Amino acid sequence: MALDAEHLMYPKRGYGMDHDRYDWSMLTDRKPISWPQGKKLALWVNVCVQFFPLNQQGKPFAVPGGMTMPYPDLRHFSLREYGNRIGLFRILDALDNVGIVPTFAINGEMAQRNPWLLEHLAKRDNEILCHGWNMDSIHYGGMDSAQEQMWIENSLSALRDASGQPVTGWLSPARNESELTPELLKQAGVQYCANWVNDDMPYAFNTANGPIAAMPLSNELDDQFILQSNLHSEASYVEQIQDAASLLLTEAETQGGRMLGLNIHPWLLGQPYRIGYLERLLGWLAQQDIYTASASDILSGWQHQQAAE
């Protein structure tokens, strides 16, 4: 039997997207953006500093990159630790050698488990954004709101205290959210969230507690997605990001500045057989017409130009 007409009617049915989180628009129709020094492409390199619990609960799902073997999965647990102790420093050298600015997405629990590392990263004066409590603390629809609020507040407090920074950015573990995550983030003083990946530029995002900004961080170009999920080669990883950057630079010639967000994991790209590919990629990017800056600086530049409309 055919569905009756009322089945397809609901309060937020509308043009573009069936929600009121943001105003729908085509990227090509928006006000052109200019980056500092006339650069065409803003590059945001997001380096994830994560803690994966050995006894993960996997609620409501096992986080990508987490433990996969019966407890205790020391093989994968120690590989994640390798990333924070060895791989990360190879990545920092690769970024510093070509003058590309990183932003660090850090789990709040890392401030407790590895205060030395937090102190070291804070001394670099690069931006730190909050990556949730740990990689097994998944925000999801229907979860207890008091539990989620506690995770958010504890995570932000731990990083703010350890770094001395305001910590105003957020990236959920596995990029997952509940229906209240944006409201709770705004309430906790977060200014931008990187969970939604549906654009090549920042955009205004609505919450019941006031507006925040969405900072799209490409999942398609995430090293874990390309290398671990899609099983593509390291050479293909480099090629795909070069192709993306080239296309965005071409669009920027006539449509205004674009943004490229790269999410990287030290336990993956910090491996001795992979770091050379990252060095090659960063060297190539540094030769392009890019504005390399923190996520907050890129967002601030975009916001100031929006306010000038």
Asked whether residue 7 carries a pLDDT value surpassing 80, the answer given is no
Asked whether residue 2 carries a pLDDT value surpassing 90, the answer given is no
82, exposed or middle or buried, with CB in 10 Å at 0-12, 13-18, 19+? middle
105, exposed or middle or buried, with CB in 10 Å at 0-12, 13-18, 19+? buried
- Please list the alpha-helical segments (H only) found in the chain: 74-82, 88-98, 108-113, 115-123, 145-163, 181-187, 223, 234-255, 266-269, 275-286, 295-307
Q: Determine the length of the chain.
A: 309
Q: Is the dihedral of CA 83, 85, 88, 94 positive or negative?
A: negative
Q: Mean pLDDT across the stretch 241-263?
A: 98
Structure tokens at 89: 């420093």
Q: Which domains does the chain possess?
A: 33-307 (3.20.20.370)
Q: Mean pLDDT across the stretch 234-255?
A: 98
| pLDDT, tens digit, 9 for 90 and up, residues 282-292 | 999 999 999 99
Structure tokens at 232: 């593509």
pLDDT at residue number 127:
98
Structure tokens at 64: 């990508």
| pLDDT, tens digit, 9 for 90 and up, residues 69-105 | 999 999 999 999 999 999 999 999 999 999 999 999 9
DSSP state, 228?
I
Alpha carbon distance 284, 279 (integer Å): 9
pLDDT at residue number 293:
98
pLDDT at residue number 19:
87
pLDDT at residue number 265:
98
Alpha carbon distance 4, 221 (integer Å): 42
pLDDT at residue number 106:
98
pLDDT at residue number 1:
63
In order of 43, 64, 87, the CA distances from 102 in angstroms are 9, 23, 15
Contact 116, 68 (CB under 8 A): no
Q: How many CB atoms lie within 10 A of CB 6?
A: 7
Q: Mean pLDDT across the stretch 52-74?
A: 94
pLDDT at residue number 221:
98
Asked whether residue 300 carries a pLDDT value surpassing 70, the answer given is yes
Q: Mean pLDDT across the stretch 176-200?
A: 98
Asked whether residue 201 carries a pLDDT value surpassing 90, the answer given is yes
Q: Is the dihedral of CA 90, 194, 165, 285 positive or negative?
A: positive
238, exposed or middle or buried, with CB in 10 Å at 0-12, 13-18, 19+? middle
Cα angle 45, 132, 124 (rounded to 5 degrees) comes to 45
Q: What is the mean pLDDT of the chain?
A: 95
In the chain, what percentage of residues exceed pLDDT 70? 99
| pLDDT, tens digit, 9 for 90 and up, residues 96-150 | 999 999 999 999 999 999 999 999 999 999 999 999 999 999 999 999 999 999 9
